[in-house]
Amino acid sequence: SAAAEHGLESVKRKLCRLVASSLSVTVPGLDVEPMLEVSKPGFGDYQCNNALSLFSSLRGTGTNFQNPRSIGQTILNNLPSSDIVESTSVAGPGYVNIVISSDWIAKMIQDMLIYGIKTWAPTMPVNRVIVDFSSPNIAKEMHVGHIRSTIIGDALARMLEFANVEVLRRNHVGDWGTQFGMLIEFLFEQFPNWKEVGNQAIEDLQSFYKASKIKFDDESSGFKAKAKQAVVRLQQGEDRYRAAWEKICQISHNEFDSVYKRLGVELEEKGESFYNPYIPPVLEELTNKGLITKSEGAQVISIAGQKSPLIVVKRDGGFNYASTDLAALWYRLNVERAEWIVYVTDVGQKQHFHKFFSAASMAGWLPDQNEKEYPKTTHVGFGLVLGLDGKRFRTRCSEVVRLVDLLDEAKSRCKEELIGRLTENGKIADWTVDELDTTSEAIGLGAVKYADLKNNRLTDYTFSFDKMLSDKGNTAVYLQYAHARICSIIRKANKDIEELKTKASITFVHADERALGLHVIRFQEVVEQACADLLPHYLCDYLYSLSEAFSKFYASCQVVGSPEEASRLLLCHATAVVMRQCFNLLGITPVYKL
Ligand code: ARG
Domain residue ranges in the chain = 2-100, 179-265, 405-586
Whether residue 109 contacts residue 146, with contact meaning beta carbons closer than 8 Å, is answered with: no
- Please report, as a single letter, which amino acid is at residue 20: A
Q: What pLDDT, on a 0 to 100 scale, did the predictor assign at position 236?
A: 87
Closest ligand 1 atom to 349 CA: 12
How remote is the CA of residue 306 from the centroid of ligand 1, in Å?
Answer: 21
The vertex-331 CA angle with 328 and 335, nearest 5°, equals 160
DSSP 167-190: EEEEE--B--STHHHHHHHHHHHH
Q: What is the mean pLDDT of residues 551-570?
A: 97
Superfamily classification of domain 2-100: Arginyl tRNA synthetase N-terminal domain (3.30.1360.70)
**Does the structure show a pLDDT above 50 at 2?**
no
DSSP 491-537: HHHT--HHHHHHHS-----SHHHHHHHHHHHTHHHHHHHHHHHT-TH
Q: What pLDDT, on a 0 to 100 scale, did the predictor assign at position 370?
A: 61
**Does the structure show a pLDDT above 90 at 178?**
no
- Rounded CA gap, 519 and 542, in Å? 9
H or E element: which one contains 454?
none
On average, the pLDDT of the chain sits at 93
- Please report, as a single letter, which amino acid is at residue 96: V
**pTM: predicted TM-score of the whole model, two decimal places:** 0.94
Q: What is the mean pLDDT of residues 229-253?
A: 91
CATH fold of 405-586: Isoleucyl-tRNA Synthetase; Domain 1 (1.10.730)
How remote is the CA of residue 172 from the centroid of ligand 1, in Å?
Answer: 6
**Does the structure show a pLDDT above 60 at 400?**
no
Over residues 426-461, the pLDDT tens digits come to 999 999 999 999 999 999 999 999 999 999 999 998
Nearest CA to ligand 1 atom 5: 135
Give the helix, strand, coil percentages of the chain, each rounded to 5: 55, 10, 35
Pick the more confident residue, 401 or 578.
Answer: 578
How remote is the CA of residue 572 from the centroid of ligand 1, in Å?
Answer: 43
How remote is the CA of residue 175 from the centroid of ligand 1, in Å?
Answer: 11
Give the side-chain half-sphere CA count within 13 A for 361: 18
Over residues 509-555, the pLDDT tens digits come to 999 999 999 999 999 999 999 999 999 999 999 999 999 999 999 99
Q: What is the mean pLDDT of residues 88-117?
A: 96
Nearest CA to ligand 1 atom 4: 136
Pick the more confident residue, 61 or 25.
Answer: 25
Q: What pLDDT, on a 0 to 100 scale, did the predictor assign at position 395?
A: 52
- Please report, as a single letter, which amino acid is at residue 246: E
Q: What pLDDT, on a 0 to 100 scale, did the predictor assign at position 562?
A: 97
Task: Enumerate the β-bridge partners of residue 167.
Answer: 129
Could you list the beta-strand ranges (E) of 323-481. 340-346, 376-382, 385-386, 461-462
How remote is the CA of residue 340 from the centroid of ligand 1, in Å?
Answer: 17
Task: Enumerate the β-bridge partners of residue 129.
Answer: 167, 340
Could you list the beta-strand ranges (E) of 234-320. 268-269, 292-295, 298-301, 310-313
Closest ligand 1 atom to 174 CA: 1
- For 182, counting Cβ atoms within 10 Å of its Cβ (0-12 exposed, 13-18 middle, 19+ buried), the class is buried
- Rounded CA gap, 34 and 3, in Å? 24
Q: What is the mean pLDDT of residues 150-176?
A: 97
How remote is the CA of residue 273 from the centroid of ligand 1, in Å?
Answer: 13
| Pairing mode, strands 95-100 and 376-382 | unpaired
* ipTM surpasses cut 0.95: yes
Q: What is the mean pLDDT of residues 237-258?
A: 91
Over residues 469-493, the pLDDT tens digits come to 999 999 999 999 999 999 999 999 9
Q: What pLDDT, on a 0 to 100 scale, did the predictor assign at position 371?
A: 62
Q: What pLDDT, on a 0 to 100 scale, did the predictor assign at position 401?
A: 63
Whether residue 443 contacts residue 481, with contact meaning beta carbons closer than 8 Å, is answered with: no
How remote is the CA of residue 146 from the centroid of ligand 1, in Å?
Answer: 9
Nearest CA to ligand 1 atom 11: 325
Residue to mutate, 134, 168, 172, 332, ligand 1, most ligand atoms under 8 Å from C-beta: 172
Q: What pLDDT, on a 0 to 100 scale, did the predictor assign at position 389?
A: 85
Q: What pLDDT, on a 0 to 100 scale, did the predictor assign at position 373?
A: 87
Q: What pLDDT, on a 0 to 100 scale, did the predictor assign at position 5?
A: 47
Q: What pLDDT, on a 0 to 100 scale, did the predictor assign at position 261?
A: 94
Residue ranges lining ligand 1, Cβ < 6 Å:
132, 135-137, 172, 174, 325, 328, 343, 345
Pick the more confident residue, 302 or 208.
Answer: 302
**Does the structure show a pLDDT above 80 at 202?**
no
Q: What pLDDT, on a 0 to 100 scale, did the predictor assign at position 41?
A: 83
Residue to mutate, 131, 135, 278, ligand 1, most ligand atoms under 8 Å from C-beta: 135
Over residues 66-79, the pLDDT tens digits come to 999 999 999 999 99
How many Cβ atoms sit within 10 Å of the Cβ of residue 312?
A: 27
Over residues 347-389, the pLDDT tens digits come to 999 999 999 999 999 999 998 766 678 999 999 999 988 888 8
